[in-house]
Protein backbone atom coordinates (compact mmCIF):
# COMPACT_ATOMS: atom_id res chain seq x y z
CA UNK A 1 0.00 0.00 0.00
CA UNK A 2 1.46 3.39 -0.92
CA UNK A 3 1.95 6.23 1.52
CA UNK A 4 -0.67 8.54 0.03
CA UNK A 5 -3.30 5.81 0.30
CA UNK A 6 -2.38 5.15 3.95
CA UNK A 7 -2.81 8.84 4.71
CA UNK A 8 -6.11 9.03 2.85
CA UNK A 9 -7.46 6.12 4.92
CA UNK A 10 -6.34 7.57 8.26
CA UNK A 11 -8.88 9.22 10.57
CA UNK A 12 -9.60 12.70 9.18
CA UNK A 13 -7.01 11.87 6.47
CA UNK A 14 -4.30 13.02 8.90
CA UNK A 15 -1.00 11.32 9.75
CA UNK A 16 2.32 11.84 11.45
CA UNK A 17 5.56 10.58 9.87
CA UNK A 18 5.77 7.87 12.53
CA UNK A 19 2.43 6.52 11.28
CA UNK A 20 4.06 5.79 7.91
CA UNK A 21 6.97 3.68 9.11
CA UNK A 22 5.36 0.43 7.98
CA UNK A 23 5.14 1.59 4.36
CA UNK A 24 8.27 3.70 3.85
CA UNK A 25 11.82 3.55 5.17
CA UNK A 26 12.12 7.34 5.37
CA UNK A 27 8.75 8.80 6.40
CA UNK A 28 9.89 12.42 6.66
CA UNK A 29 11.48 12.46 3.20
CA UNK A 30 8.54 10.63 1.67
CA UNK A 31 6.06 13.04 3.23
CA UNK A 32 8.08 15.94 1.87
CA UNK A 33 7.99 14.50 -1.64
CA UNK A 34 4.24 13.97 -1.43
CA UNK A 35 3.77 17.56 -0.28
CA UNK A 36 5.75 18.73 -3.31
CA UNK A 37 3.57 16.52 -5.51
CA UNK A 38 0.38 17.97 -4.04
CA UNK A 39 -0.78 14.68 -2.53
CA UNK A 40 -0.18 15.72 1.09
CA UNK A 41 -0.44 19.09 2.78
CA UNK A 42 1.61 19.93 5.84
CA UNK A 43 -0.64 21.16 8.63
CA UNK A 44 2.14 21.85 11.12
CA UNK A 45 5.50 20.39 12.03
CA UNK A 46 4.95 16.64 12.16
CA UNK A 47 1.37 16.56 10.85
CA UNK A 48 0.15 16.02 7.30
CA UNK A 49 -3.27 15.70 5.69
CA UNK A 50 -4.05 13.80 2.50
CA UNK A 51 -5.41 16.16 -0.14
CA UNK A 52 -8.75 14.88 -1.50
CA UNK A 53 -8.69 13.82 -5.15
CA UNK A 54 -11.37 16.36 -6.04
CA UNK A 55 -9.85 19.24 -4.07
CA UNK A 56 -9.32 22.51 -5.96
CA UNK A 57 -5.88 24.02 -6.41
CA UNK A 58 -4.78 25.68 -3.18
CA UNK A 59 -7.09 23.57 -1.03
CA UNK A 60 -6.79 23.82 2.73
CA UNK A 61 -8.93 22.10 5.34
CA UNK A 62 -10.91 24.21 7.75
CA UNK A 63 -9.14 24.89 11.02
CA UNK A 64 -11.71 22.68 12.74
CA UNK A 65 -10.93 19.72 10.48
CA UNK A 66 -7.19 20.29 10.81
CA UNK A 67 -7.44 20.45 14.60
CA UNK A 68 -9.55 17.33 14.90
CA UNK A 69 -7.23 15.50 12.51
CA UNK A 70 -4.21 16.32 14.65
CA UNK A 71 -6.02 15.24 17.80
CA UNK A 72 -7.14 11.99 16.18
CA UNK A 73 -3.62 11.28 14.90
CA UNK A 74 -2.21 11.60 18.42
CA UNK A 75 -4.97 10.07 20.55
CA UNK A 76 -7.19 8.13 18.16
CA UNK A 77 -10.53 9.22 16.65
CA UNK A 78 -12.55 8.18 19.72
CA UNK A 79 -10.42 10.31 22.06
CA UNK A 80 -10.37 13.61 20.18
CA UNK A 81 -13.52 15.74 20.26
CA UNK A 82 -14.09 19.23 18.89
CA UNK A 83 -15.44 21.38 21.69
CA UNK A 84 -16.06 24.99 22.62
CA UNK A 85 -15.80 27.53 19.81
CA UNK A 86 -14.83 24.81 17.33
CA UNK A 87 -17.97 22.81 18.04
CA UNK A 88 -19.96 26.04 17.86
CA UNK A 89 -18.53 26.65 14.38
CA UNK A 90 -19.56 23.18 13.23
CA UNK A 91 -23.04 23.77 14.64
CA UNK A 92 -23.20 27.09 12.71
CA UNK A 93 -23.44 29.11 15.92
CA UNK A 94 -20.40 31.15 14.84
CA UNK A 95 -20.92 32.19 11.22
CA UNK A 96 -17.45 33.36 10.24
CA UNK A 97 -14.14 31.52 10.31
CA UNK A 98 -11.93 32.09 13.34
CA UNK A 99 -8.22 31.55 13.86
CA UNK A 100 -8.53 29.26 16.85
CA UNK A 101 -9.61 25.69 17.44
CA UNK A 102 -10.23 23.72 20.62
CA UNK A 103 -10.04 19.94 20.94
CA UNK A 104 -10.83 17.82 24.00
CA UNK A 105 -8.28 15.04 24.54
CA UNK A 106 -7.55 12.65 27.43
CA UNK A 107 -4.07 14.01 28.20
CA UNK A 108 -2.36 17.37 28.34
CA UNK A 109 -0.85 18.43 25.00
CA UNK A 110 0.92 21.61 23.98
CA UNK A 111 -0.84 23.99 21.57
CA UNK A 112 -0.09 23.49 17.88
CA UNK A 113 0.47 26.42 15.56
CA UNK A 114 -0.78 25.66 12.07
CA UNK A 115 1.32 26.51 9.02
CA UNK A 116 -1.57 28.39 7.37
CA UNK A 117 -2.28 30.37 10.53
CA UNK A 118 -4.31 29.68 13.61
CA UNK A 119 -3.66 27.80 16.82
CA UNK A 120 -5.07 24.52 18.08
CA UNK A 121 -5.58 24.36 21.84
CA UNK A 122 -5.92 20.96 23.46
CA UNK A 123 -7.92 20.65 26.67
CA UNK A 124 -7.53 17.67 28.97
CA UNK A 125 -11.01 16.24 29.51
CA UNK A 126 -12.70 12.99 30.38
CA UNK A 127 -13.58 12.39 26.76
CA UNK A 128 -15.75 9.39 27.67
CA UNK A 129 -17.88 11.69 29.81
CA UNK A 130 -18.52 14.29 27.11
CA UNK A 131 -21.71 14.19 25.07
CA UNK A 132 -20.57 14.10 21.46
CA UNK A 133 -21.84 13.10 18.04
CA UNK A 134 -20.24 12.12 14.74
CA UNK A 135 -20.40 14.97 12.26
CA UNK A 136 -19.12 15.49 8.74
CA UNK A 137 -16.19 17.86 8.29
CA UNK A 138 -14.27 18.51 5.10
CA UNK A 139 -11.73 15.74 5.76
CA UNK A 140 -14.11 13.13 7.15
CA UNK A 141 -16.40 12.30 10.03
CA UNK A 142 -15.28 13.13 13.54
CA UNK A 143 -16.60 13.66 17.04
CA UNK A 144 -18.06 17.04 17.96
CA UNK A 145 -19.74 17.96 21.24
CA UNK A 146 -23.51 18.23 20.98
CA UNK A 147 -25.13 21.68 21.10
CA UNK A 148 -26.03 21.12 24.77
CA UNK A 149 -22.50 20.09 25.71
CA UNK A 150 -21.09 22.91 23.61
CA UNK A 151 -23.10 25.67 25.23
CA UNK A 152 -22.28 24.34 28.70
CA UNK A 153 -18.57 24.37 27.87
CA UNK A 154 -18.76 27.88 26.39
CA UNK A 155 -20.49 29.28 29.45
CA UNK A 156 -18.06 27.50 31.76
CA UNK A 157 -14.91 28.74 29.98
CA UNK A 158 -15.84 31.71 27.77
CA UNK A 159 -12.24 32.81 27.21
CA UNK A 160 -11.07 29.45 25.87
CA UNK A 161 -10.02 29.99 22.27
CA UNK A 162 -9.40 33.70 22.72
CA UNK A 163 -12.46 34.95 20.81
CA UNK A 164 -14.76 36.26 23.57
CA UNK A 165 -17.13 38.19 21.28
CA UNK A 166 -17.74 35.17 19.06
CA UNK A 167 -18.15 33.00 22.15
CA UNK A 168 -20.88 35.22 23.57
CA UNK A 169 -22.70 35.27 20.24
CA UNK A 170 -22.43 31.48 20.01
CA UNK A 171 -23.94 31.09 23.47
CA UNK A 172 -26.91 33.23 22.45
CA UNK A 173 -27.35 31.38 19.16
CA UNK A 174 -27.18 27.97 20.80
CA UNK A 175 -29.41 29.00 23.70
CA UNK A 176 -32.31 29.41 21.29
CA UNK A 177 -32.06 25.80 20.10
CA UNK A 178 -30.91 23.66 23.02
CA UNK A 179 -32.83 21.45 25.44
CA UNK A 180 -32.18 23.12 28.79
CA UNK A 181 -33.19 20.00 30.71
CA UNK A 182 -30.53 18.06 28.81
CA UNK A 183 -27.96 20.73 29.68
CA UNK A 184 -28.97 20.48 33.33
CA UNK A 185 -28.40 16.72 33.25
CA UNK A 186 -24.94 17.24 31.77
CA UNK A 187 -24.13 19.94 34.31
CA UNK A 188 -24.99 17.63 37.19
CA UNK A 189 -22.91 14.78 35.77
CA UNK A 190 -19.95 17.09 35.09
CA UNK A 191 -20.16 19.05 38.34
CA UNK A 192 -20.84 22.37 36.61
CA UNK A 193 -23.65 23.99 38.63
CA UNK A 194 -22.20 27.50 38.30
CA UNK A 195 -22.10 27.25 34.51
CA UNK A 196 -25.70 26.03 34.46
CA UNK A 197 -26.77 28.93 36.68
CA UNK A 198 -25.09 31.42 34.34
CA UNK A 199 -26.79 29.84 31.35
CA UNK A 200 -30.20 29.99 33.03
CA UNK A 201 -29.60 33.69 33.69
CA UNK A 202 -28.66 34.29 30.06
CA UNK A 203 -31.78 32.48 28.89
CA UNK A 204 -34.15 34.16 31.35
CA UNK A 205 -36.68 36.51 29.73
CA UNK A 206 -35.66 40.16 29.94
Residue 34: its pLDDT value, please?
Answer: 94
Residue 93: its pLDDT value, please?
Answer: 98
Instruction: pLDDT tens for the chain, 206 residues: list them.
Output: 588 899 999 999 999 999 999 888 899 999 999 999 999 999 999 999 999 999 999 999 999 999 999 999 999 999 999 999 999 999 999 999 999 999 999 999 999 999 999 999 999 999 999 999 999 999 999 999 999 999 999 999 999 999 999 999 999 999 999 999 999 999 999 999 999 999 999 988 76
Residue 167 CA to residue 36 CA, distance in Å, equals: 38
- For residue 80, give the nearest of 167, 11, 8, 170 by alpha carbon: 11
- For residue 62, give the nearest of 77, 80, 82 by alpha carbon: 82
Residue 128: its pLDDT value, please?
Answer: 97
Half-sphere exposure of 103 (CA within 13 A, CB side): 33
Residue 25: its pLDDT value, please?
Answer: 86
Report whether 102 contacts 157 (CB < 8 A).
no
Residue 205: its pLDDT value, please?
Answer: 78
Whole-model pTM: value is 0.95
Q: How many residues does the chain have?
A: 206
List beta partners, residue 103. 82, 122
Residue 170: its pLDDT value, please?
Answer: 98
Residue 77 CA to residue 71 CA, distance in Å, equals: 8
Report whether 195 contacts 152 (CB < 8 A).
yes
- What is the dihedral angle through the alpha carbons of 152, 174, 103, 187, rounded to the nearest 10 degrees? 20
Amino acid sequence: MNVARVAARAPMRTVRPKDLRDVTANPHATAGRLVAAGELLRLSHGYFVAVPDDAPVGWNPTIEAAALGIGAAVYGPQNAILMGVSAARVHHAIPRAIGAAVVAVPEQHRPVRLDRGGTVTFVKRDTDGLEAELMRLDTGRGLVTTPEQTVLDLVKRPDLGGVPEETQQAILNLASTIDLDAVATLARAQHAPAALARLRKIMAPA
